[in-house]
Structures are given as structure tokens and as C-alpha cells.
Amino acid sequence: MLDTKKTIFSGMQPSGMVTLGNYLGALNNWTKLQDEYNCLYCIVDMHAITVRQDPAKLRKQAKELLMQYIAVGLDPEKNIIYYQSHVPQHAELSWVLNCYTYMGELSRMTQFKEKSQRHAENINSGLFTYPVLMAADILLYQADLVPVGEDQRQHLEITRDIAERFNGIYGDVFTMPEPYIGKVGARIMALQDPTRKMSKSDENKNNTIALLDEPAVIMNKIKRAVTDSDNEIRFGEDKPGISNLLSIYCAVTGKTPAQAEAEFANTSYGAFKVAVGEAVVANLEPIQKKVKELEKNQDYMDSVIRSGAEKASRIAEKTLRKVHKKVGFPPRIK
Ligand code: TYM
């Protein structure tokens, strides 16, 4: 029977502890899509080395990320879950696409500007061409949809521009991917500075909640989150701290913004924070338990790693061959 399901691709960098932002903006949506779509979820370790990483730590974080993918509910039987560095076609397609991407468009990327400010001592060309590798990730699998948080929107736009340019020259080689950005949780902010997004590479750990933080740590971080001086619990641009906590609450409980505002209409900030903290803890506890089980089952993890890379590579190779032919590389002789 013909497989008529659409394809989804997304990825996450193993560049730190997975945060509540990663979970609510991305992972949590991925699990909802696994029955309806053919999904590939990658651990983008090649993207991670665009900033300096400690090798042992990177390896550990990649493995932890894989376990967290599974622990949040991604079933390796239904989804292709794998490490980017295990599928060489990503780098190969990226090279070709580099030749169809302009310096001008890459230098306009917000993430490049931000990261090159933060890592002024290491503005390497991988950081510059990061979006091209990301385009290769997505286009290799002819993905229709890419579920990401709001901060990745610009990367999706350049992916579409590159695909369109390539298709314009060679015919319909790539499927045009669409971003899939959830309504709630698409932009979780730093707890101590709610005008900035929560980021796994943040040095100040009070800004982030890690998926694997202990319950007491989570409660503490939320209690200390920056709010404001009036006592109203409502969404508002003038109330970034409270709005952020309300967004977190809605995302973990599934309640609407109006429901959450009504629930906390006559509540103090202190009691509100306790309620948010407890809701987060309740949501994360089963995930943490599952990670602990997976840690004990290395054989199973190894089988997921092996079969994920094999399945991804088979699909990727088809696109890569087509691209090589289109651009004029000589055919391989069997
Ligand atoms: P990364 O690793 O920074 O983040 C992984 C996912 O988490 C989302 N996210 C957030 N969502 C809500 N609030 C936040 N504070 C927050 N912080 C992060 C991100 O939007 C993302 O969906 N470039 C990508 C990785 C990547 C990729 C890809 C994604 C590489 N290739 C192909 C999709 C398709 C990144 O750095 O994500």
C-alpha cells in the first residue's frame, strides 16, 4: 500500500541540559504527531560543535538527549530517532547547498549575529553556515512539516529560500517544508530575565529549568522567578515574568490562558508560583523516572541508535543521489 503520511523532521542540539523551553516549545509537540506522520527526530551533534564543546560532555549530553526523546514519549518503533553524525548524507548535502546559499543571506541571520557576539573568540565558518546544514537536515528527508519553537522561524525561512532556489534551477527536487509552531509554549523565557528566551547554554542556571532537575530545585527556581510589583495574575506585555509563568502553567496543564487567569484571579504571587511549580513537577516526574529506567538498559539504547541511523541513511541516500545527478556529478559505477 502506498504510504500517504506526510513527513516531519525536527532536531535538537545536545549542547546542554534539555530545558523546559525545549520541552514545551518542541518535544511535547513531537509526541503528539507520531501517529499521524512519518517522523524523524535527530540529535544534531554536528550543529553543536559550531561552539566549543567538551568532547566527553558532548557525548554524554547526546546520549542523555536520546533518552529524553524516548522518555517524553517518542516511540523508536514509530519514529526514526538518530544522531546526525551517524548519517553522513547530512554533511554531503550541506556542501552542495552551500554552493546555492549567499553570504548576504547568511550574514542576516539573527542567531549568527547573537552567537558571534557571545563567542567573539570563535566566529568559525561552521557557525556562519549553520543554517545550511539545518536546511540539509530538513530537505534530505523531503519533510513537509518542521515542529520547532518560535526562535527557529528564520531558519525555516532560509531553508525554504534555498529549496526554492534549487528547485527553480533543477525542477522539483525538494519538498517545501512548513514550520509547525505551537500556540502555547513556543517561546518560554528565562526565569530571571523574562525578556530573553530560556536557553540550554545559559550560564545562570536559575534562568532555566532542566527536564531532569530535582523537584525541590524546580520549586525553588520558580519561587525565585522574577515577577513585578503589582499583584495581578494576567497575561500582558507589561508583565513578562507573570506571563511566562502563566504560559508554562498552560503548557503543562493543557489549560487555556483564560482558564488559567480565572483560576488565579484572587491568588497571591507566592501561592501562584507554588501552583506553577507543582504542575511542572507533576509533568516532569514520569519523564525522569523513565530516563532512569533507560539508563539501565544500554542494550536497548544501542539498538535504537543503530537502527535509527540505518533507517535515516536509507531515506537520505535517495535524495542525495538525486541531487548529485541534478548538479552533474558523474554516476557511480557498480
Ligand atoms: P535547539 O537545540 O536550540 O532547540 C531545540 C528546540 O527547542 C525550541 N526551543 C524553545 N521553544 C520554546 N521556548 C524556548 N525558550 C526554546 N528554546 C528552544 C527550539 O525552537 C527548537 O525547536 N537549530 C536548531 C536545531 C536544528 C533543527 C534542525 C531543528 C538543527 N537542524 C532541523 C529543526 C529542523 C536548534 O538549535 O534548536
**Active-site residue (options: 5, 57, 78, 115):** 115
Whole-prediction pTM: 0.94
CA angle, 223 then 20 then 72, to 5°:
130
State yes or no: is 197 an active-site residue. Answer: yes
Q: Read off the C-alpha cell for 231.
A: 499583584
Dist. CA 23 → ligand 1 center (Å): 10
State yes or no: is 205 an active-site residue. Answer: no
Atom of ligand 1 nearest to the CA of 47: 30
Question: In order along the chain (334 residues), what is the average pLDDT of each group of 10 residues?
Answer: 85 95 93 94 98 96 97 96 98 98 96 90 95 98 95 97 98 97 89 94 94 97 94 94 97 95 95 98 97 97 98 98 98 90
Backbone angles phi, psi at 38, to 5 degrees: -85, 115
Q: What is the structure's pLDDT at 2?
A: 61
Backbone angles phi, psi at 229, to 5 degrees: -95, -15
- Hunting for cell 530538513 — which residue is that? 138
Q: Do 7-181+298-327 and 205-293 come out as alike in CATH topology?
A: no
Out of 28, 152, 243, mutate this one to test ligand 1's pocket (max ligand atoms within 8 Å of CB): namely 152
Q: What is the structure's pLDDT at 264?
A: 96
Tell me the CATH architecture of domain 7-181+298-327.
3-Layer(aba) Sandwich (3.40)
In which order are the strands placed within the sheet that holds 145-147?
A: 79-83, 38-43, 7-12, 145-147, 178-180
- Determine the topology of domain 205-293 in CATH: Tyrosyl-Transfer RNA Synthetase (1.10.240)
Dist. CA 22 → ligand 1 center (Å): 7
Lining ligand 1 with CB less than 6 A are: 9-13, 21-22, 25-26, 44, 47, 134, 137-138, 146, 148-149, 151-152, 155, 186-188, 197-198
Q: What is the structure's pLDDT at 187?
A: 92
Dist. CA 270 → ligand 1 center (Å): 31
**Active-site residue (options: 5, 6, 63, 200):** 200
Domain boundaries, the chain: 7-181+298-327, 205-293
- Whether 141 and 319 have beta carbons less than 8 Å apart is answered as yes
Atom of ligand 1 nearest to the CA of 151: 20
Out of 7, 12, 133, 252, mutate this one to test ligand 1's pocket (max ligand atoms within 8 Å of CB): namely 12
State yes or no: is 322 an active-site residue. Answer: no
